[in-house]
Structure 1
Amino acid sequence: MKTNYHTHTTRCMHATGSDEDYVLSAIKGSYQELGFSDHTPWKYHTDYVADMRMLPEELPGYVESLRSLREKYRDQISIKIGLECEYFPTYIHWLKEKIKEYQLDYILFGNHHYHTDEKFPYFGHHTENLDMLELYEESAIEGMESGLFCCLAHPDLFMRSYPQFDRHCKLISRHICRTAARLHIPLEYNIGYVAYNEAHNLQTYPCPDFWHIAANEGCTAIIGLDAHNNKDLETPVYYNRAIEELKTLKIQRVDSLSLITNH
């Protein structure tokens, strides 16, 4: 089955294409199931306003729009409604209320910040030293153990800013992969950055060193587009290549995620 559960919308302020454009592109790209997981809002205790996520008051419109598209295209594609969330212990109770209120299908774990973005910088740009690397590991493991998430998105995100895959990376990767395997949480083989990497001659993620460890630890993987442009869903080249890369690594690939059933 061809699926993608990592799809953003313009509400995150760094994506293009209407909600319906993503659905139409997914149909064109022969996807059987499309999951929307835009960056979650958080009901902050401070007056902090994030620049890469919807506001809490936008959440009802997000769900309403996707429900109506799910109904409109039900004979052509299955649509699931989720969010991509960090593990912010202070705000998890609020999130759980929203999951129940809107009967969301799933929650992706995007480990972008340590405990809250009100105080801590983005791991993708600021993991340049061992301290940040260890905070990345700590929140990744805490989040997976919370039981809230069905998948760890871009588990190798730290390689966007960490200088090279050294012994520290090896150690934290092993701990993250071991936890994911123990808890039966798939790791996302995120191909959203591949085109950028190729254009700039970089290798951030998927990071081959990380994925060799994932293979050795018996992890499962799911391919995620991290689509920020609906046209990403029409281009099969990176998806097909990812299938081959995971085969070469001998990692078991899954094509669907565990959905929330008890609301």
Structure 2
Amino acid sequence: MTFDLHTHHNRCGHAHGSIRDYITAAVEKGMSYIGISDHTPFFAETDDRPSPEASMAKSEFPAYIQEVLSLKQEFAGQIEVLLGVEADFLPDSLDLYRNILGSYPLDYIIGSVHDFEGVSLYDTGYWERLSPQGRLELKESYYSYIEQSAKSGIYDILGHVDALNRYFPGYSVLRTEMAEHTLRTIAAHDIVIEINSSDELWVPDTWLLERALHYGVKVTFGSDAHEPARVGEYFEAIRKHLLDIGFREWAIFKNRERIMLPLER
């Protein structure tokens, strides 16, 4: 069975195409499941839409939910549409997000770290200005945020873990015990991590996935598509990659319940 649990659409301000476009693309590719998981609004902010190029408005969120639920019914029998969201891990707003997201009939919640200690995961310049020790400390700070997100109890999936590898040169070669500690925490809290294929540098990398398997961490797949044509991108290659590492199953979610599917066809 083919699936993709991580897709965005035009409501978030930085993706292209409607939700229907993503579902149609998945149907055309013969997929079994398509997850719609756009960025949650910034619920803790006073403004309705403080970041128009990052997330939908708070006032748009109920319409987003309703549209996906409607499309679930419309496409029943062609493909199973899953209702998800991608929520930023914001340590000071956990109760607010827990209460709001818990009031909707979501199939799953992806928790992603995009900013930590005031640093954006896209800020290559900041990274390049750091000393070797400063880079190691920043990597450990990032893992601390990942660990906290796993402990929060809000998320079913941790999104694009180690995405800094895409933007911070030399990131992957820095080894820290904090990586192992974080994986042990993820396993202890039984949270799934995604293999994210938003570009050709998939994350996490092979080393972290091997360690994840060692600790019993479960995995899933998300393309992080921001345009319909990229739905399911690299699915088959990643399936084979996970088999080579030693994984034998991966997860999807329905009604916040995890279902494990075999990697073998």
Residue 115 of structure 2 aligns to a residue in which SS?
coil
TM-score, with structure 1 as normaliser: 0.84
1:3-42 pair list within 5 angstroms: 3-42=3-42
Residue aligning to 1:73: 75
TM-score, with structure 2 as normaliser: 0.84
Q: How far has the Cα of 1:24 moved from its partner? A: 0.7
2:217 equivalent to 1:191: no
Closer/same/farther in 2, CA of residues 251 and 97 from structure 1, 3 Å limit: same
AA aligned opposite 1:163: P
Q: Which has the higher strand share?
A: 2
Q: Is the 8 A contact 1:17 1:229 kept in 2?
A: yes
Q: How far has the Cα of 1:42 moved from its partner? A: 1.5
Residue 68 of structure 2 aligns to a residue in which SS?
helix
Q: How far has the Cα of 1:206 moved from its partner? A: 4.1
Q: How far has the Cα of 1:30 moved from its partner? A: 1.7
Alignment gaps of 5+ in structure 2:
128-134, 258-265
How many pairs were matched up?
246
CA distance in 2 between counterparts of 1:204 and 1:69 reads: 30
Which deviates more from structure 2 when the two are superposed, residues 222-231 or residues 121-130?
121-130
Residue aligning to 1:200: none
Residue 207 of structure 2 aligns to a residue in which SS?
helix
Q: How far has the Cα of 1:178 moved from its partner? A: 1.7
Closer/same/farther in 2, CA of residues 259 and 177 from structure 1, 3 Å limit: farther
Residue aligning to 2:188: 182
Aligned counterpart in structure 1 of residue 214 of structure 2, from 213, 216, 237: 216
AA aligned opposite 1:153: G
Residue aligning to 1:171: 177
1:23-102 pair list within 5 angstroms: 23-45=23-45, 49-50=50-51, 51-102=53-104
AA aligned opposite 2:209: W
Alignment gaps of 5+ in structure 1:
195-202
Q: How far has the Cα of 1:88 moved from its partner? A: 1.3
Residue aligning to 1:104: 106
Residue aligning to 2:238: 242
Residue 37 of structure 2 aligns to a residue in which SS?
strand
Which deviates more from structure 2 when the two are superposed, residues 156-165 or residues 33-42?
156-165
CA distance in 1 between counterparts of 2:165 and 2:5 reads: 22
Q: How much is the aligned-residue C-alpha RMSD, in angstroms?
A: 2.3
Q: How far has the Cα of 1:204 moved from its partner? A: 6.4
Q: How far has the Cα of 1:121 moved from its partner? A: 3.1
